[in-house]
Amino acid sequence: MSGPSALRVWGIVALCFCALGLTFAARSSVGVLMPIWEVDLGWSRGLSSTGSSLVLLIMALISPIAGDIIDRVGPRHVFAGGLVFMGGAIAASSQISREWEFLVLFGVIGGIGHGTISLPLVTTMMAQLLKRHSGLATGFALSGSTAGQLPVLTLLAFLVTMLGWRDAYLSFGFGLLALIPLAWLMLKGVGGEPRAQAGHQAGAATLRARLGILARNRTFILLTCSYVLCGFTTGGVFDVHFVPYAVSFGFALVDSTAAHGAHGVGNMMGLILFGWLSDRVHRARLLAAMYAARALLFILLLNTAGNLTLLFVFAVAFGILNFATLAPIASLIASHVGIRMMGLSTGLLFCGHSIGAAAGAIFGGHFYDLTARYEGVWLIALGLALFAALLANLVREEPDGNRPRLGVAAAA
């Protein structure tokens, strides 16, 4: 490990773990609070889903911009700024009473924060921080978005029960704001340095030229299309509607939320497992198999009614196949596009993922409002996951087999 000291590196890893844990739990909190807002504020699930979809659309707009800035100047300003928007939005959302306040504070301002504190952009930051052998550090940093959700979402459910949702949200906001000075100090000097790059990509100085390269890259296009569908099935219908679906079947709110948190444990397992596999097997076929297996799991979800154990089994298994898709995708991007444009390319991928998730979130809410059932939502998600598998299977593996590891930049 070269560059920053090991202590500083692992401090940054811990910072990313905490920031992702709080951020992803805040986004998933809509699913936890949806039934409560329905009673307390008189909001339909379609409205709550619209707020979630607005977050995802703003993320889609912000992620490529944030990624390009990280490529050029490093992650310090982007990461700290994201915490300002995210923490401020969540704290302010604790006082909302009108629909437009929810859409502006949680949806727009919170969406800006979500668009910067995200998995692909943390992956890029770790790639800039470490030049080699960063797979373990990257895995731990990303696992905050998964393992962090288990205690945070479970704590949220208890806080909502004991103190009410407003005080619970206020605690979320303060937790995120407390990370700002740490981020500003620890990320000083990270990234923003020119790196050697092969071929014509090194000369892609302007944003227009860099976008042109990506638009002509067959691998990038296929991965983006499959990732849009991935977003619909995960960040859209699952993250927003899993807890309401479980509650509608009679499971307690705390049990349903705990199952969603257990999904985070599966995510952590999947990140490590599939990150390791991405270095050793055909990455495109691995990704296709993950999408196909995810589709089959929706059949299991449709048969969990009344069985809490089966609900937890689904949540963990779905988690293993959820965030872990980032491992083969990031590896393919690193080898087919290059580290120098990884921030922009992963930002655009995340943009597509967010658009798909926004569609899934709003579709699930309005579908439930019309039918008072979720089964059709899961069947459509099943079909889209299978189509994503087909697209991923069309991606070509790197011909020479020399695969950069997840988050690892070639030495300059």
| Per-residue CA distances from 99 to 48, 51, 284, 321, 372 (Å) | 9, 9, 43, 35, 22
Cα 185 to Cα 27: distance, rounded to the nearest angstrom:
26
Kindly list the structural domains of the chain, giving each domain's residue range(s) and its CATH number in brackets, ordered by start. 6-393 (1.20.1250.20)
Is the confidence at residue 200, as pLDDT, over 50? no
Q: How many CB atoms lie within 10 A of CB 1?
A: 13
Contact 146, 268 (CB under 8 A): yes
Is the confidence at residue 133, as pLDDT, over 50? no
Torsion, Cα of 152, 157, 161, 164 (10° steps): 70
3-state secondary structure of 74: coil
3-state secondary structure of 43: coil
Residue that wins the pLDDT comparison between 75 and 192? 75
Structure tokens at 62: 């912000």
Q: How confident is the model at residue 409 (pLDDT cuts 50, 70, 90)?
A: very low
Instruction: Provide the pLDDT for residue 230.
Output: 95
What is the overall mean pLDDT for the chain? 82
The helix-helix angle for 45-73 and 119-129 (nearest 10°) equals 20
Q: How confident is the model at residue 196 (pLDDT cuts 50, 70, 90)?
A: very low
| Per-residue CA distances from 170 to 33, 86, 87, 248 (Å) | 14, 12, 9, 27
Q: How confident is the model at residue 150 (pLDDT cuts 50, 70, 90)?
A: low
Phi then psi dihedrals of residue 357, to 5 deg: -65, -40
Instruction: Provide the pLDDT for residue 327.
Output: 79
Q: How many CB atoms lie within 10 A of CB 104?
A: 18
- The 10s digit of each residue's pLDDT in 77-129 is 899 999 999 999 999 988 888 888 888 988 899 889 988 888 877 877 776 67
Torsion, Cα of 380, 397, 70, 275 (10° steps): 70
